[in-house]
């Protein structure tokens, strides 16, 4: 089933993130995708995540389509002006890629090419509107297209933002601009999410809550101290004491999904190079 059709159902939606390699060897990534084919609803392919140069998202999305997987192509506003963004949207649709997740993108100063100049010609709301304009058969210059694309558009949201009202206002703007689904940053405490869930329950878009596979206590501490993500000391202690931290991380992720499942539209699983363990996580979900 196409991802756009899945969004119209009451199914608990599961997506997972894949990272293109820094190079052209794609077999390992495709092997991981094959393990998940039929188990998840969409494969989210990152676009030079954290401003680190990698193989392009579009190339991986096309390869995923070839092996029967439903890709979601990330598109950041960081690296391209409006000409290139529109061209890439048309290119993606021509190659069969309909699902696009639009986000700002990390600043180049955070990546491995710190001298790179950021573009940010369009912001995510403007890019969402641009994609919808292309669907009507015209580009941003008002020129007619020879054939119109069709997209299923997504965006990102931070449920832990303070103040939350500003984040929710941005969600509404993105929905008005054409967003049909949202994915969030990793969440490790459902209690902290309850207000966000209550206030977004009636929105006309599906929200997929981020779930991260913690592979060690060190990773958890880094995310807590450096990235500002709220991770319970209880989880850090469990990872520290575990004979196999990865196995314990799998248990934690499964527990979180089990807690979220009755209350949210779905989850977006981030395994950061350990995608072969996502099936184990899903098998443990109650």
Alpha helices in 67-216 (DSSP H): 82-94, 124-135, 164-177, 190-200
Residue 115 structure tokens:
């001298």
- At 221, the pLDDT band (50, 70, 90 cuts) reads very high
- At 248, the pLDDT band (50, 70, 90 cuts) reads very high
Q: How far apart are CA 169 and CA 83, in angstroms?
A: 28
Q: Which fold has domain 3-215+265-276?
A: TIM Barrel (3.20.20)
Residues 84-93, mean pLDDT to the nearest whole number: 98
Supply φ then ψ for residue 102, to 5 degrees: -105, 130
Residues 201-230, mean pLDDT to the nearest whole number: 95
What is the per-residue pLDDT across 39-76, written as a single tens digit (0 to 9) for each? 999 999 999 999 999 999 999 999 999 999 999 999 99
**Is residue 242 predicted with pLDDT exceeding 90?**
yes
Q: What is the pLDDT of residue 191?
A: 85
What is the per-residue pLDDT across 76-85, written as a single tens digit (0 to 9) for each? 999 999 999 9
Residues 19 and 43 sit within 8 Å (Cβ to Cβ): no
Q: How far apart are CA 86 and CA 142, in angstroms?
A: 13
**Is residue 227 predicted with pLDDT exceeding 90?**
no
Please, what is the angle between helix 164-177 and helix 124-135, to 10°? 20
Sort 5 into a burial class: Cβ within 10 Å, 0-12 / 13-18 / 19+: exposed
Domain boundaries, the chain: 3-215+265-276
Measuring CA to CA, which residue among 25, 47, 45, 43 is closest to residue 35?
43
Q: What is the pLDDT of residue 26?
A: 98
Place of tokens 């439903």: 70
Q: How far apart are CA 282 and CA 196, in angstroms?
A: 24
């Amino acid at each position: 089933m196409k991802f756009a059709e899945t969004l119209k159902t009451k199914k608990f939606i599961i997506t997972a993130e894949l990272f293109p390699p820094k190079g052209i060897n794609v077999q390992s990534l495709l092997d991981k995708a094959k393990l998940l084919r039929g188990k998840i609803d969409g494969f989210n392919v990152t676009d030079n995540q954290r401003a680190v140069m990698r193989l392009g998202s579009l190339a991986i999305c096309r390869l995923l389509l070839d092996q029967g997987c439903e890709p979601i192509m990330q598109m950041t506003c960081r690296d391209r002006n409006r000409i290139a963004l529109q061209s890439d949207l048309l290119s993606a649709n021509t190659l069969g890629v309909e699902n696009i997740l639009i986000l700002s993108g990390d600043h180049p100063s955070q990546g491995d090419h710190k001298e790179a100049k950021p573009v940010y010609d369009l912001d995510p709301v403007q890019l969402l509107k641009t994609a919808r304009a292309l669907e009507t058969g015209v580009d941003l210059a008002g020129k007619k297209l020879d054939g119109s694309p069709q997209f299923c558009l997504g965006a990102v949201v931070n449920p832990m933002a303070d103040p939350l009202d500003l984040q929710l206002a941005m969600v509404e703007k993105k929905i008005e601009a054409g967003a049909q689904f949202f994915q969030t940053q990793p969440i490790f405490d459902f209690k902290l999410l309850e207000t966000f869930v209550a206030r977004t329950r009636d929105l006309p878009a599906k929200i997929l809550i981020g779930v991260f596979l913690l592979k060690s206590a060190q990773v958890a501490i880094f995310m807590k101290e450096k990235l500002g993500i709220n991770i319970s000391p209880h989880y850090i202690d469990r990872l520290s004491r575990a004979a196999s931290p990865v196995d314990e991380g799998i248990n934690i992720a499964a527990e979180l999904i089990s807690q979220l499942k009755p209350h949210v539209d779905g989850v977006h699983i981030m395994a950061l190079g350990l995608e072969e363990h996502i099936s184990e996580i899903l098998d443990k979900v109650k």
